[in-house]
Structure 1
Amino acid sequence: SNQYGSILGHTSASSGSLLDDHHWHSVVIERYRRNINFTLDQHTQHFRTNGEFDHLDLDYE
């Protein structure tokens, strides 16, 4: 639990193909609130995260 209460939800995205082909790949993840742009080798997938949680806190301390 944190100051925002219990936050439940899971959002997943898949690339549709294997990435272990011994080549470098470009990955860009852009996020604005619940809206996500996931770009893999210039192919972008747009999706929205589940739940009501609309910010990301990376301060682990």
Structure 2
Amino acid sequence: MSNSNSILFVRWGAVSVREAVELQSVLSEMIPGKFNILFIDPIAGLKDVNEQGQLYSASTQRWS
């Protein structure tokens, strides 16, 4: 990580706005430089996932 210009963290599971802000705050104290956090909250019953060898794709829903 020390050689990277930017880091992407992935959080799987439901997260509240408060939790997202808290995680961003904690990481900003630990990580020098630029980073992004991708929050992925799976939707129960969603069947639109495709597997092609090592390539996976899935439907997403925007959180706003």
- Fold-level match, TM-score > 0.5? no
Q: Which has the higher contact order (CA 8 A, sep 6+)?
A: 2
Q: Return the TM-score normalized by structure 2.
A: 0.23
Specify which structure has the higher proportion of helix.
2
Specify which structure has the higher proportion of strand.
2
Q: Return the TM-score normalized by structure 1.
A: 0.24
